[in-house]
Structure 1
Amino acid sequence: MRTLIWMIGIFAVAVGVAMVAGLNDGYVLLVAPPWRVQLSLNLLVVIVVVGFALGYALVRVVSRTLQLPTRVAQWRERRRRERAGRALTDSVNALFEGRFSQSLKSASRAYETGEGASMAALVAARAAHAMQDEPRYREWLGNAAKKEANGDVARLMTEAELAVDAGRFDEAAARLATLREGGHRHIAMLRLEARVASALRRWEELIGTVRQLRKHKALTDEQAVPLLRRGHVERMRELAGDSEALVDYWKNIPAGELQDRGLIERVLPLLAKAGRGELARRQVEHLLDERWDSDLARQYAYCAESEGESSVRACLQKAESWLQQQPRDAGLLFALGQLCVRAQLWGKAQSYLESSVKYGPSVDAYLALAHLLENLERNAEAQPYYRAAAEIVAAGGQKNAVALLPA
């Protein structure tokens, strides 16, 4: 349909031109003595138009002929880039498919073309690393460094990631430090820093990095909380010999992170050993009032001051108020027994501990009851509880309490 319309249009223009030319009686006289040439105006117009068209065509042919070497060079360069692009794409595909040898070969071809040589070298380095070919891995990293055109961020990230995978955490830390000095703090780098800090036991660095990842929503709460818990617990263990430093560290933990019940359970013994278990008392009481947790309640006795009778009495009063709602909770009964021991309420302590082992037999409750009876010089009555604790350990329960058994 479109062709038909064009043909009709062309014929219409031709008819129009023919009609206009038929009405034109003008002529042109060209005089160049001794010659005279007389032409019709229509013929002159045709000659001019055709002459211009032929001249334009001749100029174009000459121009294209002169440009031919350049155009051939551009075509060859384009073909070279296309081959390099295909080789690089093939190498990446083979790398993701797990065909590391083929990936290395394709990356080598891409590298030889010079187009995307840095990226090809990094792909080859990854393939060599996956093949556990350390010499070629180092060689290709060196090639990437030579061909890097836009800084060495990609190379340093690759080195850091592969060093972490291989367990060379010191090397990874050095590469990440170089990136950090360059002002780079993107999410992938922060994730690597978290893994390196954990492996090198740099707990404060781990905590800071996890907080940043959490802020940028690169970690969910479920992922961040265990990492923060480990960092806090391990750091407080390192500070266990310095009571003041331990207290300062505890006070600087954000309130949101103190909502982690697992964290409170693990650091309470550390604070109590330093004589400052009362620092966590309000937090423990708040968490238990909010939602009951038997494991956390078992640790409540740590919240009483080491040398404060009033603190022990206050904790005992609070725990007994919980007992009204949780009369059969073995963890709470154990904590009550421990508090009564510290308050020297021997009869109540024995009663609470016996109830604890009744509703939830555990190594620590049996041992606490046995120690209480020994302190009351009732050694014969204590022996069955020692045996009961040993039987639980022998059966595989609470293996972490083996160290509590008497020699």
Structure 2
Amino acid sequence: MIRGVLLIALLVVAASVVGLGIARGSGYVLIAYEGFRYESSLWVFLAALLVLWLAFYLLRVLLRVLGVSSALANPWSRRHRSRRGRKASEQGLLELAEGRWSPALKHLRLAAEQDPQPLMYYLGAARAANQLGDYESSDNLLERALTRQPRAELAVALTHAELQQARGNLQGAHDTLSAMLERHPHHPEVLRRLLDLQRQRGDSAAVVGLLPELRKQKVLADSELRDIERQAWRAALLDASLHGHEQGDTLQPLHNTWQQMGQAHRNDPELLLIYTEQLRQAGAEAQAEETLRAALKKHYEPRLVELYGQLRGSDTGRQLQSAEAWLSEHAEDPVLLRALARMSLHHQLWGKARDYYEASLGFSRDPQTCAELARLLNRLGETERSNQLFQEGLGLFNSRTPLPAPR
């Protein structure tokens, strides 16, 4: 409303100014150029200019209207192609998210051909083709994406490795990621993907090899990295023992793996337990006993004491004395007392073994301790007490491992 009033006011002022100008004089305009000569009054000349400007403006509007009309009428016009591309991209992305692979492949492929930045559409179409089992089309779409956007090599390669991994082609995924690691040595995502792949393949040596770079680049949180590192070394120790059995030399691969570990990991109770247990299974009980005794002198750990009591070192008397020395600080540890009872049995110290078993049961009614003391008492001829302990141990075991309810 206000704008209309202002416009009318301006028109009135302009007409007044023009009227005053005409009243004061008509003016004179002369344009002469070689043989051309134009003469008119000033106001006629200005009116002619105004008419020419209006004619030019109307012609532009007419041409624009005709162009829009032809674009609307022509199904292959740029306008229609752009609209089809937008529609295909919207539908394709929605279908991809909903798991409708076949229509998603069709629409995303169309959107990729229409869009000047087609990377995301090609990658989505490749995923859809991969889900449909059309691996050749999937790879071709990735190649097309790389051709259209060469600078997106890493993104295309990561997607390719992911799809190869989904197909079960772990070696192909490994080759793809290894090539990218050579071209981008410190890239966090390449390192993370390669770590996940090596863990899936069960290649503990490769995981261990990646750990220094993972820590340096801070790809994972420290706690997560420590867990992965422990799992990798655990698997490496078990693999070394297995390979040793296969090669007929059980101990050397195990020793080599153990020496490759840092001191912090050689002091880790869980890894130490695995190492000494593998030594025990390989018949190297004396070496396992020495390793555990040295570790327990530094740090007392009940899990290690449990295994220590099951070993027979080269000097069982010294082994027993070393364990009894720990009683000064851990006299109420039922695991240590049971271990001492077992070592006493090795020396046929029946009374001493019985006392240690009884002391262990005084701190913890463990079914294993009950069973071992029951066997000892049976050997000593105390049948009634032996049967009582067997029954008690069986009851404790059943209470800890309840039977499934009948159907």
> Normalized against structure 2, the TM-score is what?
0.66
Aligned to 1:266: 274
Residue equivalent to 1:202: 203
Q: Check if 1:140 corresponds to 2:147.
A: no
Q: Are the structure 2 counterparts of residues 56 and 180 from structure 1 closer, same or farther at C-alpha, using a change threshold of 3 Å?
A: same
Q: Hey, what's the Cα distance between the residues in 1 that align with 2:36 and 2:79?
A: 58
What SS does the aligned partner of 1:231 have? helix
SS of the residue 1:98 aligns to: coil
TM-superposed deviation, 1:234: 1.8
What is the alpha-carbon distance in structure 2 between the residues aligned to residue 304 and residue 20 of structure 1?
126
Q: Percent identity?
A: 23
1:346 and 1:339 map into 2 onto residues whose CA distance is: 10
1:361 aligns with 2:366: yes
Q: CA deviation at 1:235?
A: 1.0
Counterparts of 1:215-234 in structure 2 under 5 Å?
219-220=220-221, 223-234=224-235
- The total of aligned residue pairs comes to 382
* Deviation (angstroms), 1:148: 2.7
Tell me how far 1:139 sits from its aligned partner: 3.0
In the other structure, the counterpart of 1:401 is none
Q: Structure 1 28/165 Cα, relative in aligned 2: closer, same or farther at 3 Å?
A: closer
Task: Tell whether 2:334 aligns with 1:334.
Answer: no
| Superposition map of 1:6-25 within 5 A | 6-16=7-17, 18-19=19-20, 22=23
1:342-353 correspondence to structure 2 within 5 Å: 347-353=351-357
Is the CA contact (8 Å cut-off) linking 2:157 and 2:180 kept in structure 1? yes
SS in 1 for 2:107: helix
Q: For residue 89 of structure 1, what is the aligned residue in structure 2?
A: 90
1:56–1:98 distance in 2 versus 1, CA, 3 Å: closer
Q: Is the 8 A contact 1:87 1:107 kept in 2?
A: yes
Q: Is this contact kept in 2: 1:118–1:143, CA < 8 A?
A: no
1:323 partnered with 2:327: no
**Cα distance in 2 for residues equivalent to 1:39 and 1:308:** 132
Could you tell me how far 1:224 is from its partner in structure 2? Answer: 4.3
Question: Shift in Å at residue 232 of structure 1?
Answer: 0.9
Q: Which residue of 1 aligns with 2:50?
A: 50
Structure 1 residue 93: deviation in Å? 1.9
Q: 2: CA distance between counterparts of 1:142 and 1:38? A: 73
What is the TM-score normalised by the length of structure 1?
0.66
Aligned to 1:80: 81
Task: Tell me if structure 1 keeps the 8 A contact 2:205–2:232.
Answer: yes
What secondary structure does 1:148 align onto?
helix
> Equivalent residues in 2 for 1:25-64 (5 A)?
27-28=28-29, 39-44=40-45, 46-47=46-47, 49-50=49-50, 53=53, 57=57
Gaps of 5+ in 1: 399-407
* Superposed CA RMSD: 5.4
Q: Pairwise mapping of residues 159-238 of structure 1 onto structure 2 (< 5 A)?
A: 159-183=160-184, 186-209=187-210, 219-220=220-221, 223-238=224-239
Say which SS state the counterpart of residue 77 (structure 2) adopts: helix
Which sections of structure 2, spanning at least 5 residues, go unmatched?
245-249, 402-407
Shift in Å, 1:248: 6.0
Distance change (3 Å), C-alpha of 1:333 and 1:194: farther
Is the 1:126–1:137 Cα contact (8 Å) retained in structure 2?
Answer: no
The aligned runs of 1:143-162 (5 Å cut-off) are 143-149=141-147, 150=150, 152-162=153-163
Alignment of 1:88-107 (within 5 A): 88-107=89-108
Match of 1:199, as an amino acid? Q
